[in-house]
Structure 1
Amino acid sequence: MRVRRYLPGVALDDAVEAYTLLEMDKGTAAQPLRMLPPLSISLCLHYGGRVLAGYRSQTDAVGSALTGMHTAPRTYGTDGQVGIVLVTFRAGAVGQFFRLGAHELLHLNVELSDLLPPGEQERIEEALSRAREDGAKVAAVERFLTRLRTEQAADLLARRAAAVIERHGGEVSIARLAAAHHVSERQLERRFTRAVGISPKKFARLARFHRMLGKIGQASSVADLAAACGYYDQSHLIKECREFSGGFSELLPQGELTSLVFAGRAAG
């Protein structure tokens, strides 16, 4: 499996976190992949092969699709030689490209054909199939996103709140965050959930989980890791891991299960 990540151009930098290109031949395609809950919504553009996506107790064949926020790991199986470009949107930005609220996508994979004008999906998939170099693929995706982008203004309150929560690794008082933006907690929760996809409290829990992922291997014990990441104690950390990943032991470096977390800026 080949995985490469690239940053967006200046025109889309405010809305797109990164592009991830994945290519798998028939040999590597037999290995299941696991994607932990990310901090943003993603757009998956397929230009080869077949993908089976499993979430909780359901498994579906998916093509190019918009994937909403989810709070449990997804599993992906592949068939044939697979090619994918994954667009990771910044928190709160998806509404500028698709006429729906992020909360409408919660736990869902929505087929791109249900969201685009006729022929638009085929146009981008064909362009990706023809492109031989990564740069050409990224350029094709950026042209596609530029065509999709609407004049819909982003909810700056929700986006700023999400940025604060991410920057502090989830250790943020939502009440203080609302007060700092001169709105009530209820107003913040409503606007945040519509723009980002989940409530600010759940987003903060996920942000803390991602912070913990980055520190695995640095702490001398699970208790020290819990303290470093703002968990009440070791049992609190393990409980959160069980919800978001299936269990703490599966996240350890020596584990055999592959985990892909599409979050954070990546250099290309």
Structure 2
Amino acid sequence: MRYFTIQPPAELKPYVRFYWVLEHELGADEPSYIYRSIADGCTEMVFHYRSAFDELDNKTGQNAGPSGIQFQTTQYRRFITTESFGIFGAYIYPFAVPCFFNIASSQTSNLAFDFDTFLSRPGRELEERIMLAADNNKRAEVLSAFLIARLRKNGLKDERMAIAIRDVIHNKQYRTVAQLANAYNLSERHFDRKFKEYAGFSPKTYMRLTRLQDALRQYNTDKTLTRIAMECGYYDQSHFIHDVKEFTGYHPGFYFSGKAEGTEYRNT
């Protein structure tokens, strides 16, 4: 399995965390591959340029298609393919959703669509250009041009909320919503409303999602689960177990064992 990232151009870096590529050749002893996407506070645009996946256990009834957009979500999903595959994706901050798609982040949480449904003709054309691109660097160029053109039409309207969301994701000094609201000189109620508008979830829920991602980034370390939970800000082991089970579908002991679906790329 091959996984790597590509950095976006400077104009997009405040909005796009990175582009990513996942490729895998199925062997003779591997009739299928199951990928499990987990809850995440960021939005992803996903293009299957080699083969396609079918969704398992589709409880939402939404049409995400073989390629599409998954907005920030508190849910995990499962997909299967019986062929070798190649996927190109963009990992996007939630506050960039209004800039790229002219819709409030609060209206998109837990939604997923294929590009035709969500973007109509521009979505179809974008997907076709990504599929026909010569390589992944060219795919990054194509998607960057598409996103930059949209960004220039719909600029960010509240830079303070973008900074606050980046703070939650990258800066771990804030452990409570009160601390975060105070840092931006807003009441908790006002901050909660503004934050949800741009992040898609309340600050409390969003901090749970980022705490989970912090914990899962410890996947290949030799730390104990107790230590991971403490370093990532969980109050106790039970809170850690609860969140991992809710957002990934697995007990942390199994997720970190190397046997869980969708964790193979973390070993690359």
Say whether the fold is shared (TM-score over 0.5): yes
Inter-CA distance 21–214: structure 2 relative to 1 (3 Å threshold):
closer
Name the counterpart of 1:11. 11
Inter-CA distance 45–170: structure 2 relative to 1 (3 Å threshold):
farther
Inter-CA distance 26–41: structure 2 relative to 1 (3 Å threshold):
same
* TM-score (normalised: structure 2): 0.84
Identity %: 24
The partner residue of 1:93 within 93, 96, 100 is 96
Q: Distance in 2 between matches of 1:219 and 1:169?
A: 21
C-alpha contact 2:46 2:88 (8 A) present in aligned 1: yes
Inter-CA distance 144–46: structure 2 relative to 1 (3 Å threshold):
farther
C-alpha contact 1:171 1:204 (8 A) present in aligned 2: no
Aligned residues: 261
C-alpha contact 1:47 1:126 (8 A) present in aligned 2: no
Name the counterpart of 2:258. 254
- Counterpart AA for 1:186: R
Matched, 1:161 2:164: yes
C-alpha contact 1:23 1:83 (8 A) present in aligned 2: yes
Residue range with higher mean Cα deviation, 192-201 or 105-114: 105-114
Tell me, which stretches of 5 or more residues in structure 2 are unaligned?
A: none
| Per-residue deviation, residues 102-132 of structure 1 (Å, max 9, x unmatched) | 12221111222233252x2232223223322
Inter-CA distance 218–138: structure 2 relative to 1 (3 Å threshold):
closer
Residue range with higher mean Cα deviation, 219-228 or 134-143: 219-228
The partner residue of 1:122 within 104, 124, 128 is 124
Question: Aligned-pair RMSD on alpha carbons?
Answer: 2.7
Name the counterpart of 1:76. 79
Helix, strand or coil at the partner of 1:10: coil
**Residue 152 of structure 1, CA deviation:** 3.3
**Residue 65 of structure 1, CA deviation:** 1.9
C-alpha contact 1:250 1:257 (8 A) present in aligned 2: no
C-alpha contact 2:72 2:94 (8 A) present in aligned 1: no
**Runs of 4+ that moved beyond 6 A:** none
**Residue 91 of structure 1, CA deviation:** 3.5
1:231-246 superposed matches below 5 A: 231-246=234-249
C-alpha contact 1:29 1:81 (8 A) present in aligned 2: no
Name the counterpart of 1:34. 36
Q: Distance in 1 between matches of 2:167 and 2:71?
A: 21
**Residue 32 of structure 1, CA deviation:** 0.2
C-alpha contact 1:36 1:261 (8 A) present in aligned 2: no
Q: Distance in 2 between matches of 1:235 and 1:67?
A: 29
Q: Distance in 2 between matches of 1:114 and 1:234?
A: 42
Q: Distance in 2 between matches of 1:199 and 1:82?
A: 36
1:1-268 superposed matches below 5 A: 1-25=1-25, 30-54=32-56, 57-58=59-60, 62-78=65-81, 80=83, 82-118=85-121, 120-149=122-151, 150-169=153-172, 171-216=174-219, 218=221, 221-246=224-249, 247-259=251-263
Inter-CA distance 124–83: structure 2 relative to 1 (3 Å threshold):
farther
Inter-CA distance 216–49: structure 2 relative to 1 (3 Å threshold):
closer
C-alpha contact 1:35 1:260 (8 A) present in aligned 2: no
Tell me, which stretches of 5 or more residues in structure 1 are unaligned?
A: 263-268
Q: Distance in 1 between matches of 2:142 and 2:190?
A: 38
Q: Distance in 2 between matches of 1:200 and 1:66?
A: 23
Residue range with higher mean Cα deviation, 10-19 or 74-83: 74-83
C-alpha contact 2:70 2:111 (8 A) present in aligned 1: yes
